[in-house]
Chain A
Amino acid sequence: MGIKKITTPLADDTVLSLKTGDEVLISGVIYTARDQAHFRLVKLIEENKPLPFDIRGQVIYYVGPTPEKPGEVIGSAGPTTSYRMDKYAPILMKLGLKGMIGKGKRSNEVKEAIQKYKAVYFGAIGGAGALISKSIKSSKVIAYEDLLSEAIRELIVEDFPAIVVNDVYGGDLYEEGRKRYENKYAVND
């Protein structure tokens, strides 16, 4: 199985072609948002106000990077745990969000919304923030600068490494992977 190269914004065809366990390299624009940014985005939606960016077809990366040093594009920038955004994710998918990048399990509601709205959840490697930052070519804060690391950034990424965790077909890499290696550990020391 080769590594799939995909570009953002994600077209429906691309989303449909992705299967749980696929390794991907993502290129194009992605947006950062984590806890507080999601809280504000959903508040805007509830108040029928426009979002700071057109969410249709887009990918949100759950990350709060370290501050960049002078001359750096971005600091360390690995994924944060996704379940904290579970409450908000279906609302954003309903509006056209097509991809999420994070780490860790999603709720049943999120998995159902992924199937219903044809979206995809990618896992990135937590704790590999220095490595991942190398695939980020530009970074610009576009909203909520007061949130510091939690501000919304528009990133341009090139070959951002991730793996498909939840696909439109109901697949879940965490469940499948765990079952495959259950009771396979043998003590040999």
Chain B
Amino acid sequence: MRFITSEEISNAVKNLIINSSVSLPEDTYKGLKQAFEKEISESGKTVLRQILLNAEIAETENKPLCQDTGLAVFFVEIGMNVAVRDKNLTDAINEGTRRGYSEGFLRKSTCDPLTRKNIGDNTPAIIHYEFTNGDKLRIMYAAKGGGSENMSGIKMMRPSDGKDGIMDFVVQIMQAAGPNPCPPNIIGVGIGGNFERSAILAKKSLFRKLGERNSDHELDEMEKIILERINNIGTGPMGFGGICTALGVHIIKEPCHIASLPVAVNIECHSHRHAEITI
């Protein structure tokens, strides 16, 4: 059994959070740059130019890319031969979140859902665990903004709705979202599992690198069709009109109940901040 101290985890989490708040990942930057070259709308081009400029300013001036520094979302893979010392893993990640948002001068956005009182340190983080072989701990992090999250949706579809029904649903969600989720977006789609699992799959699909193809041929085809349909809506960058409404569509599927077809659509904004570390 290999041991990692909770302090090492908290520090790693803190650094992931601070660095990704100011530094746009390479895949996102590349996706935005390609969108800029492809966009035919003048205002769309202007918006994309400013978004790219914003990324440069954020990096050089060490200033958050966006004031919504998100809820801290983690997907953690725990090797079966690794254990955490001193504190449990959840507490260690929350401690790192607390430090990251405080020391990085990031906005604290968690609040009580009813009183709306701010918690003050951006905890609790949203953490999903999976177990794997080996003795490593892989921590994948994303700062998830509220604007795009709010436009997401889930539907318990009928099995008879099939692939066409699923694709229609994703497009409808993007039509209804319009300019609100800060397009151009990345669209995460979770098909199958059950009610809550489909939403987790949708979120997880956002961690796939932008521009990387789906290894499942059928899903790859669906992604292409949905992307084309979304970019034909006309919403464009920040909704001012254009052909770049989505940078990518990412689908994950899992088996579901014979009576069900759960589909979740999780929208991600253009400030697609994600990073990971393996300890």
Residues of A within 8 A of B (CB): 21, 35-36, 39, 63-69, 72, 75-78, 80-81, 83, 103-105, 123, 125-131, 133-134, 147-150, 161, 163, 173-174, 176-185, 187
Q: Chain B residues with Cβ under 8 A from A125's Cβ?
A: 47, 50-51, 54, 238
Smallest CB gap from A79: residue in B? B67
Size of the B side of the interface (Cβ < 8 Å), in residues, is 52
Scoring B residues 44 to 81 as 1 if CB is less than 8 Å from chain A, else 0, what string do you get? 10010011011001100101111111000000000000
Main secondary structure of the interface of B (DSSP, over half): loop
Contacts of B3 in A (CB 8 A): none
B260 at the interface (CB under 8 A from A): no
Contacts A64-B107, A75-B67, A126-B238 given; indicate if A185 touches B231 (C-beta within 8 A). Answer: yes
Q: How far is the CA of A63 from the CA of B67 in the complex (A)?
A: 8
Quick one: which of A69, A83, A133, A163 contacts B105, CB cutoff 8 A? Answer: A69
Report B229 CB to chain A, min CB distance, Å.
Answer: 9
Number of A-B contacts (CB under 8 A): 176
New A-B pairs, 9, CB < 8 Å, besides A39-B116, A76-B64, A127-B270:
A64-B107, A64-B109, A66-B69, A68-B105, A72-B63, A76-B58, A178-B233, A179-B241, A180-B41
Among the listed B64, B65, B108, which residue makes an inter-chain contact with A148, where contact means beta carbons less than 8 Å apart? Answer: B108
* B97 interfacial by beta-carbon distance below 8 Å: no
Task: Tell me, rounded to whole Å, the shortest Cβ–Cβ distance linking A46 to chain B.
Answer: 18
Q: List 15 A-B contacts (CB under 8 A).
A: A76-B107, A81-B147, A105-B180, A123-B238, A125-B238, A126-B182, A128-B51, A130-B57, A148-B108, A149-B108, A150-B118, A178-B178, A181-B40, A181-B236, A185-B243
Taking a contact as CB atoms under 8 Å apart, the answer to whether A76 and B50 are in contact is: no
Chain B residues, CB < 8 A from A66: 64, 67, 69, 105-107
B 170-188 to A, binary, CB cutoff 8 A, 1 in contact else 0? 0000000011101000000
Contact flag A173-B240 (CB < 8 Å), given A81-B180, A103-B180, A178-B234? yes
Interface residue? B228 (CB, 8 A): yes
